[in-house]
Structure 1
Amino acid sequence: MICKRFALVGSGFIGQVHATSLARHEGSALTMVADAAPERAQALAARYGARAVTVSEAIHSDAIDAVLIASSTPSHAELLEAAARAGKAVYCEKPIDLSLARAREVVERVLPLNVPVTVGFNRRFDSSHQQLRRQLEQGLIGRVELVQMVCRASTMPPLDYLRSSGGQMRDQAIHFFDLLRFLTGDEVRTVAAMARRWPCRTLPNLAMSTPPS
């Protein structure tokens, strides 16, 4: 198996998850780590025997085959295009950008470069979801009339993260929009929503109490 040398851009929570995966996979080697906070890059790089570098070096180094972008959402589009133009294979966390128009522009510019690019919609690669799709294709379950999905995240992200990431709909729920497309083999035609409007524009600090059993 050919071992691909990866540069990881972003050493926050999801960057650390990806670093662990790269270290475990025999077909990959975590070679470089870059982050807007150099001390975080150094700490993560030291944990896996990689080098802490600048973002520019991570993207343009000849010692790298692929770039994994796990930085903050507003940086995705620019980094994805830069890495692709540098001839690197790219795995970019979703979403590409909070603006659909901007995301489409990046896709249109990157496609002619003929480099492998994957956006982090990973739910479709889960073995249970792939088995479910096969069963649907074979008619073992029956005709799909309605799919209801429920996400139970462990904790609410910090408010600063919610403001920069686009919120739970554009940052997390899109995983399930993609999964629906994968399972049904169909594209979105109509979108409708129902929500309760909170009286304040910013999210308050939330607390929950439960009665004693």
Structure 2
Amino acid sequence: MKSLSFNSKIGHTIIFTFIISCFLGCSGNQDHHQKEESKLQLVDNHKTGIADLFLNYIDSLVKLPLAQFNEPHIQALNKKFSGKLKLEIYHDEKHDSEKSIVVQYYKNGEKRNMIKAGVICLIPKPISDSLRIADFASYFGSIKEEKPEIGITAQPLPVKIKVSDSTTIKLTFNNHEKLDQAHVIMVEILKYN
């Protein structure tokens, strides 16, 4: 009888050890798999991270009141984001539009014109590839499409998002995808009275 209970204890110990070793082997493989997935997610997060940063930058421009919507305030804002985004103020032909976001401020001096000031942001391809119309719509609100006045145009007309009574965002995009998936290539922020 003693030998039978001793053998069953050894059997239980062997089975328990086998189960534990299988479990540890599987979890080690899972750790390796999780490391591989985290590497892939870092690449995806980098793309979406830049898109999110750009949306935050545009949001900061949108929130500037008309009285502060001028070149000194925009340059100060650019300095805040300079460690995260490559931003350049447009100066004739001295800019690198393939790597940097080129920002051009303008002021409208005509009293009859409703648009008092604006900022144009030309978006380089690496950011444009991860920035879609749907991203702006989910961040700022619904879009409004413009109808062509004469026939069909080769380049689609920009879409607009009315952020407030005094601010509108105008998005220019490529025409290779459905509207919500189209990549944004230029953003214009318009300030009214």
TM class by shorter-chain length?
under 0.3
TM-score by structure 1 length? Answer: 0.22
Structure having the higher strand fraction is 2
Structure showing greater Rg: 2
Q: Which has the higher contact order (CA 8 A, sep 6+)?
A: 2
TM-score by structure 2 length? Answer: 0.23
